[in-house]
Amino acid sequence: MNLVYQTASWRAIIFSATVGFLSAAQALAALSATELVDKSNELLRGQSSHARVTIQITTPRWQRTLDVEVWNQGRAKALMRVHSPIKERGNGTLRIDKEIWNWLIEVERTLKIPPSMLQTSWMGSDFTFDDMIKSDSIVKDYTHNILEETKEGNKTIYKIEAVPMPEAPVVWGKVLLTLEEEDGRVLPLEEEDYSERGVHMRTLRFSSIKEMGGRIIPTKLECIPHKRPGQKTVILYKQFDVDVPFNEDFFGLSTLQKPL
C-alpha cells in the first residue's frame, strides 16, 4: 500500500509540476506577444519624437495632400500642425492624455473635441480623433495571442490577435497584427481592424522600410477603409527624429495657437 501511495504521490507531483510549467509557458507566451506589440507601437513614437509627414487623402471624388509636422512626448502628449495647403496653414491638433483640442486659424478659435466626436474623421482622412488619442490603446486595452510564427532567414514573422479587455473603451472587436522581429527590433507590417460583429473594417499597411533618425522604420503607412471603395489615406515620413527635448510647457494651448 505504501508503494502504491508513493507512486500515486509522485504522479500527482509530476502532474502538478507539468501543469505549472505549461501555465508558466503560456504566461510567458502571452507576455512575449504583448512585448512584441508594445515594441512595434513604440517604434514610430519613442520616448519623444519629431516628424514631418505628407498625408495623401484619396476618395472617388477628390484628392488632397497635407504637409504636417508632428511632435510626441511619451504616450500621453502629441501636437500636430498643418503647413500646407496654404488655406489650412497653421491649423493644428493637441492631445494631452485623453483630451484633445483643434485650433482653426481662419476663425482663430480653439475647439475642444467632445467624446461624441471622437469617431469623426481627422482633417478628412481615414484616421479619427480616437486614433490619435489612443496611441497606446492596442497595448493597454487588449490581450494578445500569437496565432502564427514563421521564420524567414534571420527574421521572425508573427501573426498576433488582439482582443479587447472587458469594458475597455475601444472601437474594434478584434485586431490582427503582422509584425516582423529581427535582433530585438520589431517592425509593424500590417494591421487588420474588425468590428464587434467580426466585419473587416479597414487595413493598415506599413512599407518602405528604411533608416531615418537613427532607426529602421516603415516610412509609408497606408490606411484602406473596406466600407468605402476607392478611398484611402497614405502617410509618408519625410523626417523623423527621436529623443527630442521639449520645454515643460511645449504641449499646451499657447503652442497650438502659435503662428508658424
Asked whether 48 and 243 are in contact (CB, 8 A), the reply is: yes
158-208 per-position pLDDT tens digit: 999 999 999 888 889 999 999 999 988 999 999 999 999 999 999 999 999
Structural contact between residues 206 and 218, judged by C-beta atoms closer than 8 angstroms: yes
The model's pLDDT over 97-125, given as tens digits with 9 standing for 90+, comes to 889 999 999 999 999 999 888 888 988 89
Contact 76, 98 (CB under 8 A): no
pLDDT score at 131: 81
The tens digit of pLDDT for each residue in 203-229 reads 999 999 999 999 999 999 999 999 999
pLDDT value of residue 11: 45
- Structural domain boundaries in the chain: 39-256
Instruction: Please tell me the predicted confidence (pLDDT) of residue 14.
Output: 39
CATH code of the domain made up of 39-256: 2.50.20.10
b/e burial code for range 90-102 (CB count within 10 A of at least 16 → b): bbbbbbbeeebbb
SS3 letters across 138-186: HHHCEEEEEEEEEEECCEEEEEEEEEECCCCCCCCCEEEEEEEEECCEE
Q: Which three cell numbers stand for residue 131?
A: 486614433
27 CB-near residues (< 8 Å, 6+ apart):
none
What is the helix, strand, coil percentage profile of the chain, to 5? 25, 45, 30
